[in-house]
Amino acid sequence: MMRRIEGGTLLMGSEEFYPEEGPVVEVAVAAFEIDETAVTNAEFARFVAETGYVTVAERPLDPAEFDIPEPAGRAAGSLVFTPTRGPVDLDDWRQWWRWVPGAQWRHPRGPESTIEGTGDHPVVQLAFDDATAYAAWAGKRLPTETEWEWAARGGLVGARFAWGDDPQEPDVLRANTWQGRFPYLNSGANGWIGTAPVRSFPPNGYGLFEMTGNTWEWTDTTWSTHESGDGSGHCGCGPDATSGDRVLKGGSHLCSPDYCLRYRPAARSRQSVDSAATHIGFRCARSIRGAM
């Protein structure tokens, strides 16, 4: 189901948190439609069944291009989050991300894992081309970063979070985020460690679910730096980015205040278009003809 989002003037970005989010700028947004939830495993499965589409993570890779050691490098696979046994240096994301042959949307944590019983969870392990292919099949497109942030704010102007300025409390969670000490201790958000089913947490002011937390979401916007930022925009979510990268929005179930406070509408991360991971999904948008 999609929601119509009326247009307006967005105060985009933030100057409170990470440099790549600033400066705050005024941006005009035309009316558009956006999915109430992220695309689910069941929805993506229907797309694959009808089209025979093969995702990027299911295609063998060139180990030299992706700096992946042999013999795993030539096998199809993707990045899988793996908790550490205890505290580690948070500057080195390689301590909790592993390249796993056989990891893909049907087997998000590797060939022994499954999505059975999780049809209502957001689909993950999808690269940018996978998301755009699904969107085209559905007669939709990916949202721009501006549209996504406008929708995520739910009518709130300049608020830190999708629900207001106050951080969420452990006993009243509003988003699926890391509960505990990253990357080794997570008690789960309302019992969910990893992704939660869509509509598990309260909707924002526009009736949209999990716009922050649960999974990062692809946008169609090519990454660009902001005047006040250093241009990195990288929260340790995978390989270093390259030119032509896209903006991810929303944070994920791996976001933790002691490491990555990015489950906020203004937060953004730079992602290589050919990368997939266990915490990246998407939702679709659609233009409204003649919208101003």
SS3 content of the chain, % helix, strand, coil (to 5): 15, 20, 60
Radius of gyration of the chain (CA): 18
Enclosing H/E stretch for 195:
none
Mean pLDDT by groups of 10 residues along the chain of 292 residues: 97 96 96 98 98 96 59 78 96 94 97 97 98 98 98 97 92 95 96 97 98 98 64 48 83 94 97 96 94 66
> For the whole model, what pTM was predicted?
0.92
pLDDT, residue 60, reads 86
Nearest to 281, CA basis, from 240, 244, 243, 250: 250
**d(C-alpha 172, C-alpha 116), whole Å:** 29
Q: Report pLDDT for 74.
A: 64
Pairing of strands 77-81, 97-101: antiparallel
Task: Quote the pLDDT of residue 234.
Answer: 47
Structure tokens at 44: 């993506």
Bond into 63 cis (ω within 30): no
